[in-house]
Chains A and B, each alone.
Chain A
Amino acid sequence: MKLYCLSGHPTLPCNVLKFKSTTIMLDCGLDTTSVLNFLPLPLVHSPRLSKLPGWISKDGTVNLEKELKECAGRVFVDSQPEFCLPERELLDLSTIDVILISNYHCMMALPYITEHTGFTGTVYATEPTLQIGRLLMEELVNFMERVPKAQSATCWKNKEIQRMLPGPLKDAVDVWTWKRCYSMQEVNSALSKVQLVGYSQKVELFGAVQVSPLSSGYSLGSSNWIIQSHHEKVSYVSGSSLLTTHPQPMDQSSLKNSDVLILTGLTQMPTANPDGMLGEFCSNLAMTIRAGGNVLVPCYSSGVIYDLLECLYQFIDNANLGTTPFYFISPVANSSLEFSQIFAEWLCHNKQTKVYLPEPPFPHAELIQTNKLKHYPSIHGDFSSEFRQPCVVFTGHPSLRFGDVVHFMELWGKSGLNTVIFTEPDFSYLDALAPYQPLAMKCVYCPIDTRLNFHQVSKFLKEVQPLHVVCPEQYTQPPLTQSHRSDLMLELQPPPMPYRRCAVLNLPFRRCYERVYILPELANSLVPSEVKPGITVATVSAVLHSKDNKHTLQSVPKPPPAAPSKKRKRVIEEPPATLAPKPLLSGAVPLEAFLATLQKHGITEVKVEETGEGHILHLQAEDTLIQLEEDGTHIVCDNNEPLRTTLRDLVLRFLQKL
Chain B
Amino acid sequence: MDSECVSILPRVCEVLAASGSSLPDDTSLEKLLDWLTTITQTGVSLLEACPCLLDFLSNVALNAAPGPGILSFTLKLAGLIGASEDGFKALEECSVLELVFAPHHWQESGLWEDPSLRIGWIQGLKAILQHSKALSFFVQADLLEPLLQLQTDSSLFVASAANQTLAHVLLLCQSLSSVGRDGTNKRDVEHNGVGVETNQNCSGVVSKVSEYLNESLVPRETSRLPRSQQILKLLTQLLVQVRPPLRETLLLTVLDSLEELATKSCSQLTLPLVDVLLAANSSLGDTDRIPKQRIGQLLSLVLDTKKPADVVQAAAALMRSHQTDPDHSAHAARVLLLPLDIVTGVSLVDKDSTDEELRILMTEQLQSKTCVSMICMCLTNMPQITVMAPDRLPCPQSLVVRAVLSLLRLCRGDCSSSSAGCVGVFRYVTGSSKVQKCAMEALSALSKSPEVKIGLAEVFKLLTEYLNCPLSEPSVLQKSYKVLINWIDVCTDLSCISDQLREDLTQAVRKRACDTRWEARDSTVEFLGHLAEVRSCRKSGGEEREPSNALLGGRAFAVPLLKEALQDPESYVRASSIAALAQTLTPSWQQGAPVTQEQVEIVTRLQEILSQDSEGFARRAVVKYFIAWFSSCSSPTSCPLLVQHVPAVLSQGAADLDWEVKLHTLQLAELLLDQAFPDPAPPHPYAVTPEGLIHGEDEESALLGSLNGVVDRGVVSALFCGLVDCDRPVALKACQLLLRLRAAVCPPTASAADTGVSCKLPGRSWAQEIRKIQGTNTDSEGGSAVGSEARGEAVEESSVGVREALRSLDLDGKLSILTQSSDHVYNSPLSLLQDILTASTPHSHLTSEPGQEVIVDCY
Contact = CB atoms under 8 A, between A and B. Distances in A.
Contact of A290 (B470, B514, B516): B514
A482 B514 contact: no
Given A284-B511, A446-B470, A484-B426, A279 B413 contact: no
Main secondary structure of the interface of B (DSSP, over half): loop
Interface string A274-287: 00111110111111
Contact of A482 (B413, B511, B512, B513): B413
Query: Which bracket fits the contact residues of B?
Result: 20 to 34
Contacts of B216: none
Given A486-B426, A487-B427, A319 B471 contact: no
Interface string B423-448: 10011001000000000000000000
A443 to B, nearest CB: 12
B569 A487 contact: no
Given A484-B423, A486-B427, A276 B514 contact: no
Interface string B667-682: 0000000000000000
Contact of A283 (B422, B514, B564, B569): B514
A362 to B, nearest CB: 19
Interface residues of A, number: 26
Contacts of B267: none
Nearest to B512: A283
B567 interface: yes
B430 A487 contact: yes
A271 B413 contact: yes
Nearest to B521: A283
Contacts, number: 59
A279 B515 contact: yes
A601 interface: no
A283 B567 contact: no
A272 B415 CA distance: 16
Contacts of B427: 486-487
A279 B516 contact: yes
Contacts of A284: 511, 514
A411 B813 CA distance: 77
A383 interface: no
Nearest to A273: B471
B300 interface: no
A287 B511 contact: yes
B283 interface: no
B511 A283 contact: yes
B569 A279 contact: no
B515 A283 contact: yes
Given A277-B470, A318-B569, A485-B426, A282 B514 contact: yes
Contacts of A279: 470, 515-517
A485 B567 CA distance: 43
Most chain B CB neighbours (cut-off 10 Å) among A272, A277, A282, A283: A283
B418 interface: yes
A318 B564 CA distance: 11
A276 B413 contact: no
B423 A287 contact: no
Contact of B514 (A286, A446, A485): A286
Most chain A CB neighbours (cut-off 10 Å) among B413, B422, B471, B516: B516
Contacts of B418: 484
Interface in A264-300: 271-273, 276-280, 282-287, 290
A399 to B, nearest CB: 23
Contacts of B511: 280, 283-284, 287
Contacts of B567: 320
Most chain A CB neighbours (cut-off 10 Å) among B413, B418, B427, B514: B514
A486 to B, nearest CB: 7
Given A279-B515, A319-B514, A485 B413 contact: yes
B814 interface: no
B510 interface: yes
Contacts of B514: 282-287, 290, 319
A446 B469 CA distance: 11
Nearest to A445: B470
A279 B569 CA distance: 16
Closest 9 CB pairs of A and B: A280-B470, A286-B514, A276-B470, A283-B514, A279-B516, A276-B471, A487-B427, A287-B514, A484-B415
Given A272-B471, A282-B515, A285-B514, 11 more contacts: A273-B470, A279-B516, A279-B517, A280-B470, A282-B516, A317-B569, A318-B516, A320-B564, A484-B422, A484-B426, A485-B413
Interface of A: 271-273, 276-280, 282-287, 290, 315, 317-320, 446, 482, 484-487
23 contacts: A271-B413, A272-B470, A272-B471, A273-B470, A276-B470, A276-B471, A278-B516, A279-B470, A279-B516, A279-B517, A282-B516, A283-B511, A283-B512, A290-B514, A318-B516, A319-B514, A320-B564, A484-B418, A484-B422, A484-B423, A485-B415, A486-B423, A486-B426
